[in-house]
Amino acid sequence: MPVMSEYYHPELTLPDLLNRAIRNHPDAFIGYIDKNGKLIIQTYEELRAKAKMIAAGLFNLGLKQGDTLIISTQYNQETIELLWGCFMLGVVPTVLQPPMTFSGYNPSVVKLTKVFEQLNSPFIFMSSEVKDSGTLPVNKIKHLPELDCAGSYPDPILKADDLAFIQFSSGSTGDPKGIMLTHNNLMVNLDAIRIGLDLHYPDPMGNWMPLFHDMGLIGYHIVPIYCMVFQYQIETNDFIMNPGLWLNMMSEQKIAISGCTNFGLALVLKYFTRRKPVADWDFSSMKALLNGAEPISVKIMQGYIDALKPFGFKPEAMMPVYGMAEASLAITFAPLLKRSVINAFDANLLDRENKTRLVDHFDPSARILTEVGVALNDVEIRITDGDGIPLEDGNAGHIQLKGMNITKGYYNNPKATAAAFCGDWLRTGDIGFFFEGRLYISGRYKDIIFKNGRNYFANDLEEMACHIDNIKFGKIIFGGTTGRDTGQDKVIAFVASLSEEKAKETFRDLRAFLRSNLGITVDEMVLIRSNEIPKTSSGKIQRFKLMQRYLNGEFEDCKINA
């Protein structure tokens, strides 16, 4: 049993959290910030009142405790109110990315359709602006304003081990899987997060990440309610269009805790090249900016620190973290308000023998990695070889987890559940190692590229490739396959935002650079458009989708050969 704080009780359920926050801090609220910076305040008490009305409306639709429901709405307030309406009735929700259109190929529509089938055709709540339903049954599409909320509903009898929520995986390596999370799975992880961040009232938290992703929904909406603190929400699309909204919010609202993916940090840096910073920004109140959800670029992380440091941002507030939906959310945090440890490792030794050795940061073949900290107090971590045998510190291998925060499996998918576990240990699919007691993430097992008997991580190759003048960060994707005719391993580089005139020269430079520094030869380069780079809801690149298209022969006219 992990060490828990006074906030935790083994019988807590999600409705209890909202009731507790209202009872102890009735002034606490959610602040919704629109694209113009206007703030709309909804107290937790107002949220509860709205949620109870929605619960009555769901009951009038015929829903009861234990039923499932899909929330696929466009606005944070709408999503949050529907979510808590489900919790109040004991309905089990899942939150998915809302489709902007049902025409043509749309990944969010594909995922929505697959989840609809997996959950046995539940109701889907969409925003009123969405009139089309594609191939989905019209009678299953509902809109919140049309809900009949008259009357009351039966209070559910909830237990800590009841299914509370289904978080569908982002699908970075295949079809989405429904991660089942109980009330107690969530509570132990929420408490571990509270301890790791030393969260206390009022500690405002700010968020731009989508609520259909676990980091946005659990990390920056449910955590504040568990901790009875204030929270501010910006629509993700508004942040993407204007990252200054987030910066303004953090300064004006004295945000203590926020988070950002690598993708988001890069957007902020790009914003700084286009806009003049606001002279009176003040980020000194921030004690943790959690950096995770996708591979962490040390270069981008450091660039962000340097850009915000003149405005009071403390370098030690940058907190690399590691988590996944199967663990409810969080797995490791770097120590609070301590400068994260960044090391340079011998990439050749790491790839060849899965062993760690420090090298000079300026070594061309160095792999620069930041720690992601140590395990939170509700989870155990081990590193194993391919057979599940534990490895000692300094050896890279498969990351496995065990703890009360870990899902028991995937909804209606016993095959995937069985494949995910090694006894009591969850296979994360990530590769990493412990070095001097800190965890480092090398990459995803399914993103390993094989060449000449050696393993290379696609994200490492992509980061190194950005040393080439004509290649921009986020615009190069690596994949590996076996040649159909030769049976030889092939390495493919997909490059976006590159003109055909510069393609051959860039390819020669890329091949020479990677061959001299890592000993790997890139066999082909494929020119693609930026909008052809498939990503998950959190910005992770879905490399397998590009490789599927490549193997289907869709890029024959876009290839550049040596």
Choose the CATH number for 452-561 among 3.40.50.2300, 3.30.420.40, 3.30.950.10, 3.30.300.30.
Answer: 3.30.300.30
Number of Cβ within 10 Å of residue 317's Cβ equals 24
Express each pLDDT in 199-253 by its tens digit.
999 999 999 999 999 999 999 999 999 999 999 999 999 999 999 999 999 999 9
Q: Helices 44-60 and 76-89 sit at what angle, rounded to 10 degrees?
A: 60
Q: What is the pLDDT of residue 485?
A: 57
Q: Could you tell me which residue, 314 or 275, shows the higher pLDDT?
A: 314
Single pTM value for the model: 0.86
Q: What is the pLDDT of residue 539?
A: 66
Closest CA to 185 of 166, 209, 207: 166
Express each pLDDT in 330-340 by its tens digit.
999 999 999 99
Express each pLDDT in 153-204 by its tens digit.
999 999 999 999 999 986 544 578 999 999 999 999 999 999 999 999 999 9
Choice among 146-150, 227-231, 311-315, 362-366 with the minimum mean pLDDT: 362-366
Q: What is the pLDDT of residue 412?
A: 94
Q: What is the pLDDT of residue 288?
A: 98
Contact of 69 with 86, CB cutoff 8 Å: yes
Choose the CATH number for 14-333 among 3.40.50.1820, 3.40.50.12780, 3.30.365.10, 3.30.830.10.
Answer: 3.40.50.12780
Grouping H, G, I as helix, E, B as strand and the rest as coil, residue 289 is strand
Express each pLDDT in 517-551 by its tens digit.
777 889 889 999 888 888 776 667 888 788 878 87
Residues contacting 548, CB < 8 A, separation 6+: none
14-333 and 452-561 agree in CATH topology: no
**pLDDT above 80 (res 103):** no
Choice among 166-170, 257-261, 355-359 with the minimum mean pLDDT: 166-170
Spatial separation of the C-alpha atoms in residues 114 and 30, rounded to whole Å: 32
Spatial separation of the C-alpha atoms in residues 222 and 85, rounded to whole Å: 14
Express each pLDDT in 286-332 by its tens digit.
999 999 877 788 989 999 999 999 999 999 999 999 999 999 999 99
**pLDDT above 50 (res 48):** yes
Contact of 405 with 167, CB cutoff 8 Å: no
Spatial separation of the C-alpha atoms in residues 391 and 398, rounded to whole Å: 9
Grouping H, G, I as helix, E, B as strand and the rest as coil, residue 391 is coil
Contact of 172 with 198, CB cutoff 8 Å: no
In the structure encoding, which two tokens stand for residue 149, read together? 């909320």
Q: How far apart are the first and last CA of the chain?
A: 58
Domain positions in the chain: 14-333, 452-561
Q: What is the pLDDT of residue 519?
A: 79
SS3 content of the chain, % helix, strand, coil (to 5): 35, 25, 40
Q: What is the pLDDT of residue 321?
A: 97
**pLDDT above 70 (res 459):** yes
Find the DSSP H helices in 99-172: 107-118
**Residue bearing tokens 């806009």:** 275
